[in-house]
Copies of this chain bind each other. A is one copy, B any other.
């Protein structure tokens, strides 16, 4: 599989094409230090076989921001060095931190915008990125990723909505690109030519007057020309369309652009693959081979493999899917797909992030702060009683008997003669499919899954033929 081919990124040999992109965990305290929970979270990805671990955004400056990791001072280095040491000790995974600068936000809904950043502060931002990158190298990371995506400072300068009118302003693409260019110069000088310096930015902003792939393909080309060693693509996640909850700071994943950034269950799978393909093609057409990573509902192994096989990207970035099951890479490689705790995009993790609470997955055992350990040896349950189907105006409802010891139930559906596909995971013993349409037939089966990952055989497939609707009118 393409998924398990290694990749060399400026001397950093990544053992496979699977990246866990930066995800805030809210596992650290206000002090911004690495602690045991943080350690357990990231070592879990390493044990699971993730090729490239991007540690959650850490602040390069002192701005207040709650439970965010920090790299704004040398005193943060020892904790980070312990983290990289532990990851390297248990795996050949590579690990880079995402380093971030963000502007001020208030609970009133007020937020600092880039036109309120003074020239002195611009110079400070450039210097702080360089200083933080030097600490990254000292802490034993394999590279560094600059956060120039979503709602944060570098992204806001890059945005088509950048309201500045000076040499860093929004009047032209060239001036919008200036800050990231100067930051790169500062970072490269700090870490030297042989250390991977990478960047995450938006392939599309998904806001009014925001940029699209027509511009991001040129942004990508410039970033490649500046010497960034990989380009990690995300989308949306902007303040401009965020919904303000009174008394809380704006959460940039609460508007439409946030929905595109962390898509809910009903959005298409692999929904950003085409953006990546356009950007990759543009880079290649200009002779640039910089690796491209793409995120967005890629937790189905077939989707992930296809995106790589089609050449749309070089790396698949799987955030929520690897949160749900850090052993995803190992299970895919070993042909144990049915044991994967498959993210169903319920987005409870996103809600926890928005509420600044420790980010966990609802597919884990009740109360767990980490994913259950991969356990391929637990005995397999059998499934011997039927799943009952009930059809109604609002869909097809499945019910089954509780299986003791079960962590969750995985639900599979086939439409017509299609093969069954995993479509939902649940901890309760019933589920309603609201997407069915009259005039078609559907087949359902359910598996029980143990905490360690082992799944039962599937229940006997149950078929339902829905009658065509017969529309009558009252006239």
User: Would you give 14 A-B contacts (Cβ < 8 Å), ordered by A?
Assistant: A130-B473, A173-B434, A174-B394, A174-B437, A178-B469, A181-B471, A182-B471, A185-B473, A189-B473, A212-B268, A214-B267, A221-B437, A226-B471, A256-B257
Which residues of chain B have C-beta atoms less than 8 A from A469's C-beta?
A: 174, 177-178, 181
- Residue on B nearest A185 in the bound complex, by CB: B471
Q: Check if A393 sits within 8 Å of B167, measured CB to CB.
A: yes
- With beta carbons under 8 angstroms apart, the residue of B183, B211, B274 that contacts A274 is B274
- Annotate A163-204 by CB proximity to B: 1 below 8 A, 0 otherwise: 000010001111101100111111001000000000000000
Within 8 A of B (CB), among A261-284: 264, 266-268, 271, 274
Q: Check if B127 sits within 8 Å of A256, measured CB to CB.
A: no
Which residues of chain B have C-beta atoms less than 8 A from A226's C-beta?
A: 471
Which residues of chain B have C-beta atoms less than 8 A from A437's C-beta?
A: 173-174, 177, 218, 221-222
- A305 at interface by CB-CB < 8 Å: no
- A369 at interface by CB-CB < 8 Å: no
- The residue in A167, A181, A264, A437 that gathers the most chain B C-beta atoms within 10 A of its C-beta is A437
Q: Check if B175 sits within 8 Å of A473, measured CB to CB.
A: no
Which residues of chain B have C-beta atoms less than 8 A from A207's C-beta?
A: 256
Q: Check if B439 sits within 8 Å of A225, measured CB to CB.
A: yes
Q: Check if B126 sits within 8 Å of A473, measured CB to CB.
A: yes
Which residues of chain B have C-beta atoms less than 8 A from A274's C-beta?
A: 274
Which residues of chain B have C-beta atoms less than 8 A from A394's C-beta?
A: 171-172, 174-175
- The residue in A130, A171, A475 that gathers the most chain B C-beta atoms within 10 A of its C-beta is A475
When chains A and B are docked, how far (Å) is the Cα of A433 from the Cα of B178? 17
- A457 at interface by CB-CB < 8 Å: no
- A390 at interface by CB-CB < 8 Å: no
- With beta carbons under 8 angstroms apart, the residue of B126, B189, B218, B395 that contacts A474 is B126
A174-B395 contact, Cβ under 8 Å, with A207-B256, A473-B130:
yes
Interface residue ranges, A against B (CB under 8 Å): 123, 126-127, 130, 160, 167, 171-175, 177-178, 181-186, 189, 206-209, 211-215, 218, 221-222, 225-226, 241, 255-257, 259, 264, 266-268, 271, 274, 393-395, 434-439, 468-469, 471-475
When chains A and B are docked, how far (Å) is the Cα of A473 from the Cα of B128? 11
Which residues of chain B have C-beta atoms less than 8 A from A439's C-beta?
A: 222, 225
Q: Check if A266 sits within 8 Å of B215, measured CB to CB.
A: yes
CB distance from A413 to the nearest CB of B (A): 14
CB distance from A168 to the nearest CB of B (A): 10
When chains A and B are docked, how far (Å) is the Cα of A72 from the Cα of B435? 35
When chains A and B are docked, how far (Å) is the Cα of A123 from the Cα of B475? 7
A127-B212 contact, Cβ under 8 Å, with A222-B437, A437-B174:
no
When chains A and B are docked, how far (Å) is the Cα of A377 from the Cα of B231? 53
When chains A and B are docked, how far (Å) is the Cα of A183 from the Cα of B472? 9
CB distance from A120 to the nearest CB of B (A): 9
Q: Check if A474 sits within 8 Å of B256, measured CB to CB.
A: no
CB distance from A397 to the nearest CB of B (A): 11
Which residues of chain B have C-beta atoms less than 8 A from A475's C-beta?
A: 123, 126-127, 130, 186
Closest 3 A/B residue pairs (Cβ):
A127-B475, A172-B434, A181-B471
Which residues of chain B have C-beta atoms less than 8 A from A268's C-beta?
A: 212-214
Q: Check if B172 sits within 8 Å of A256, measured CB to CB.
A: no
Q: Check if A474 sits within 8 Å of B123, measured CB to CB.
A: yes
Q: Check if A160 sits within 8 Å of B266, measured CB to CB.
A: yes
Which residues of chain B have C-beta atoms less than 8 A from A181's C-beta?
A: 469, 471
- Residue on B nearest A475 in the bound complex, by CB: B127
Q: Check if A266 sits within 8 Å of B175, measured CB to CB.
A: no
Q: Check if B438 sits within 8 Å of A174, measured CB to CB.
A: yes
When chains A and B are docked, how far (Å) is the Cα of A271 from the Cα of B225? 27
Q: Check if B256 sits within 8 Å of A182, measured CB to CB.
A: no
Which residues of chain B have C-beta atoms less than 8 A from A206's C-beta?
A: 256
When chains A and B are docked, how far (Å) is the Cα of A226 from the Cα of B208? 36
Q: Check if A178 sits within 8 Å of B474, measured CB to CB.
A: no
When chains A and B are docked, how far (Å) is the Cα of A126 from the Cα of B184? 62
Which residues of chain B have C-beta atoms less than 8 A from A209's C-beta?
A: 259, 264
- Residue on B nearest A395 in the bound complex, by CB: B172
Q: Check if B266 sits within 8 Å of A211, measured CB to CB.
A: yes
When chains A and B are docked, how far (Å) is the Cα of A212 from the Cα of B436? 16
